[in-house]
Structure 1
Amino acid sequence: MTETVAPEPTPEQAALFARVRRMMLIAGLTTALAVAAVLIAVGYRLFRSGESAVLTDTTAMLPKGARILSTAVAGDRLVVTLDIAGVTEIRTFDARTLKPAGKLKFANEP
């Protein structure tokens, strides 16, 4: 069989090959860095989500005659809608610690 012999590259071609190799090396390193960053972010999120929630026993005192109309979870907040003597009130609590986060009252205009 006959072998095909590639001619020696010209100086311009050699410079072009070197430039392409350098660009491919940069692209490969950039890709490796991006993949490492994603893996680190995913590992961090998995590590942080593994923390156990703090168990709390809390009793929230409601005004006399108050009724709970509804409860909901919004993000990291627990939302409780109350009816207090005909006035609607929304109370929010931190879902992790159950500490009060805010209070919103609704009243009719006179």
Structure 2
Amino acid sequence: MTDIVVPEPTPEQAALFARVRRMMLIAGLTTALAVAAVLIAIGYRLFRAEGSTVTTDATVMLPKGARIVSTAVTGDRLVVTLEIGGLTEIRTFEAHTLRPTGRLKFVNEP
């Protein structure tokens, strides 16, 4: 077999090869950055997604004589203001599961 001899590139050809390599490196890094950004966006949406909404039915027992004054939704909390025998009470619930998360009572000073 005969070996094919490749002549050494001229200085102009060497400069052209170096420029093409540099441009390919920039294009490759840009493509890798774009692919990483897309994968990060997909991962963020998968892990932060609330998923399909689930209907939750709940029955909360109020004290005898209690009256609901107002309700509000703030972020992921449901806030219910009650009047119980002349006293005001605020109860908070988790909006997605309706699980009670807190209770705040207001009383008058004697």
TM-score by length of 1: 0.64
Per-residue deviation, 1:69: 1.2
What one-letter code is carried by the residue in structure 2 that aligns with 1:72?
A
Q: Does 1:40 align with 2:39?
A: yes
Q: C-alpha offsets along residues 8-29 of structure 1, whole Å, 9 cap, x if unaligned?
A: 57xxxx6xxx69x75993x655
Measured after TM superposition, the shift of residue 55 of structure 1 is 2.1
Q: What's the CA shift for 1:34?
A: 4.2
- Secondary structure at the counterpart of residue 38 of structure 1: helix
CA deviation vs aligned residue, 1:73-107 (integer Å, no higher than 9, x gap): 11111111111112111111111111101111111
> What is the correspondence of 1:13-52 to structure 2 with a 5 Å cutoff?
25=25, 31-44=30-43, 45=45, 49=49, 51-52=51-52
Q: CA RMSD in A?
A: 3.4
Q: What is the aligned residue count?
A: 100
Cα pair distance change 1:47/1:64, threshold 3 Å:
same
Partner of 2:77: 77
- Measured after TM superposition, the shift of residue 49 of structure 1 is 2.9
Q: TM-score of the superposition, structure 2-length normalised? A: 0.64
Pair 63,47 (structure 1): closer, same or farther in 2 beyond 3 Å? same
SS in 1 for 2:70: strand
Mapping 1:85-96, distance limit 5 Å: 85-96=85-96
Q: For 1:28 and 1:80, locate their aligned partners in 2 and report how far apart those are by CA, in whole Å.
A: 57
- Counterpart AA for 2:35: A
Partner of 2:67: 67
Give, as a single letter, the amino acid of the residue that structure 1 aligns with 2:98. Answer: L
Residue in structure 1 matched with residue 8 of structure 2 by the alignment: none
Amino acid at match of 2:54: V
Gaps of 5+ in 2: 1-10
Matching residue of 1:4 = none
- 1:106 is the counterpart of 2:106: yes
| CA distance, structure 2, for counterparts of residue 109 and residue 22 of structure 1 | 78
